[in-house]
């Protein structure tokens, strides 16, 4: 199996690169943001509760996203591997993911972290908001809140994976192809 955490702040390019990586390595893409948006689109109770927080740029509770990941891992037992995109985002989520994978006799191979400076991130998110229609991509104060959540709760996960020797930093500036090549080199190194 090949299990990757694709890591980085909002707007770093995780979704774009995930699409390419799943094709090349035949992996299953697990994006908690996408899963939550599909709950919202389906009008579920979970979706409606999550939306209140997502609209403010605040993380949803750990148990909600851990539960979603657990059920996807259980229903894809024959997978060649997974790309975790936008998950884990807190220490509790990272610990839960380690446990869930270890129950399946596997683990995370790399945390590939896309590094992009703050000004570029805001530019990319506002641009994406024009097409995606995502309300959390269109309002600068909500974007700032998401970056703050990332810096406070998510960035500390770098040390969780560094301690396990799994952290790889990838420059996230350049063309989509260039960044994809860097990711593949790291995976195949």
Taking CB under 6 A as the rule, does residue 142 contact ligand AMP? no
Q: Are 36 and 50 in contact (CB under 8 A)?
A: yes
Residue 88's SS3 state is: coil
Q: Is 37 a catalytic residue?
A: no
How many angstroms separate the CA atoms of 175 and 189, rounded?
Answer: 21
Residue 100's SS3 state is: helix
- Smallest distance from ligand AMP to CB 176, Å: 18
Q: Find the radius of gyration of the CA atoms of the chain.
A: 16
Taking CB under 6 A as the rule, does residue 6 contact ligand AMP? no
Q: Is 134 a catalytic residue?
A: yes
Window of 38-46, 70-78, 82-90, 102-110 that interacts with ligand AMP by CB under 6 A? 82-90
- Smallest distance from ligand AMP to CB 26, Å: 23
Q: Which of 4, 6, 27, 65 contacts ligand AMP by CB under 6 A?
A: 65
Per-residue HEC secondary structure of 120-172 comes to HHHHHHHHHHHHHCCHHHCCHHHHHHHHHHHHHHHCCHHHHHHHCCCEEEEEC
- Smallest distance from ligand AMP to CB 67, Å: 11
Residue 48's SS3 state is: helix
Taking CB under 6 A as the rule, does residue 10 contact ligand AMP? yes
In the set 51, 70, 91, 128, the catalytic residue is 128
Taking CB under 6 A as the rule, does residue 59 contact ligand AMP? yes
| Residue number closest to ligand AMP, CB atom | 33
How many angstroms separate the CA atoms of 111 and 109, rounded?
Answer: 7
Classify the C-alpha dihedral 172-175-181-187 as positive or negative: positive
Taking CB under 6 A as the rule, does residue 121 contact ligand AMP? no
Q: Is 14 a catalytic residue?
A: yes
Residues of this chain that bind ligand AMP (CB under 6 A): 10, 32-33, 36, 53-54, 57-60, 65, 86-87, 89, 93, 136, 146
Catalytic amino acids? 14, 89, 128, 134, 146
């Amino acid at each position: 199996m090949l299990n990757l955490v694709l890591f980085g702040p909002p707007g770093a390019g995780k979704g774009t690169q995930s699409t390419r990586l799943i094709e090349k390595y035949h992996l299953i893409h697990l994006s908690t943001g996408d899963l939550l948006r599909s709950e919202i689109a389906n009008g579920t109770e979970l979706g409606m509760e999550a939306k209140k927080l997502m609209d403010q740029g605040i993380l949803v509770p750990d148990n909600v996203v851990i539960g979603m990941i657990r059920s996807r891992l259980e229903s894809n037992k024959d997978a060649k591997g997974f790309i975790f995109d936008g998950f884990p985002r807190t220490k509790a989520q990272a610990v839960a993911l380690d446990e869930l994978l270890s129950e399946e006799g596997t683990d995370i191979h790399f945390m590939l972290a896309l590094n992009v400076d703050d000004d570029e991130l805001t530019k990319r998110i506002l641009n994406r908001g024009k097409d995606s229609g995502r309300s959390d991509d269109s309002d600068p104060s909500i974007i700032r809140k998401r970056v703050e959540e990332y810096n406070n709760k998510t960035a500390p996960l770098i040390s969780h994976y560094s301690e396990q020797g799994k952290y790889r930093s990838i420059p996230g500036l350049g063309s989509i192809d260039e960044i994809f090549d860097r990711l593949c080199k790291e995976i195949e190194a």
